[in-house]
């Protein structure tokens, strides 16, 4: 199920997350109702893909969702590939910014010399 993969990917990227945030994420991105999202989450708990955690120090206590155990290898490969692509894009953006700063600095120097 695509929604389950997205929830796992979300939890892998952001870590333990409030159940309400996962529900809102599904409602916004998949046009699911809150009840349908709750059913998806409960089914994932039953399948052993995720776990409920209760944060008892909050008032009132808050329900969190976390991953259970290691990720399946195919999901890890997809996430790793996305991470590498993101790092490459960040490196490219950094190079562009550095080049732009160098050009701007040269133009400022040229204007000051005139």
Per-residue pLDDT tens digits for 3-49: 998 898 888 888 889 999 999 999 999 999 999 999 999 999 998 88
Please tell me whether residues 24 and 61 are part of one structural domain: yes
- Highest mean pLDDT: which of 40-44, 58-62, 65-69, 90-94? 40-44
Q: Token pair of 19, please? A: 């159940």
How many domains does the chain divide into? 2
**Hey, is 13 helix, strand or coil?**
helix
Please tell me whether residues 61 and 37 are part of one structural domain: yes
Please tell me whether residues 57 and 111 are part of one structural domain: no
Any residues with CB less than 8 A from the CB of 79 and at least 6 apart, and which?
A: 9, 12, 13, 71
CATH of the domain at 62: 1.10.10.10
Please tell me whether residues 53 and 86 are part of one structural domain: no
Main-chain phi, psi angles of 61, to 5 degrees: -55, 140
Domain hosting residue 30, numbered range: 1-69
Q: Token pair of 35, please? A: 């009840």
Please tell me whether residues 47 and 20 are part of one structural domain: yes
Please tell me whether residues 64 and 14 are part of one structural domain: yes
Please tell me whether residues 78 and 50 are part of one structural domain: no
pTM score? 0.58
Alpha-carbon span 35 to 13, nearest angstrom:
24
């Amino acid at each position: 199920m695509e929604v389950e993969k997205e929830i796992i990917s979300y939890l892998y990227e952001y870590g333990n997350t409030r159940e309400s945030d996962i529900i809102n994420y599904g409602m916004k991105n998949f046009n699911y109702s809150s009840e349908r999202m709750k059913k998806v989450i409960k089914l994932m708990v039953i399948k052993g893909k995720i776990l409920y955690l209760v944060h008892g120090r909050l008032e009132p206590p808050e329900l969190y969702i976390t991953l259970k155990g290691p990720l399946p290898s195919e999901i890890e490969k997809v996430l790793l590939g996305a991470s590498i692509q993101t790092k490459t894009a960040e490196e490219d953006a950094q190079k562009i910014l550095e080049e732009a700063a160098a050009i701007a600095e040269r133009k400022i120097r040229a204007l000051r010399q005139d």
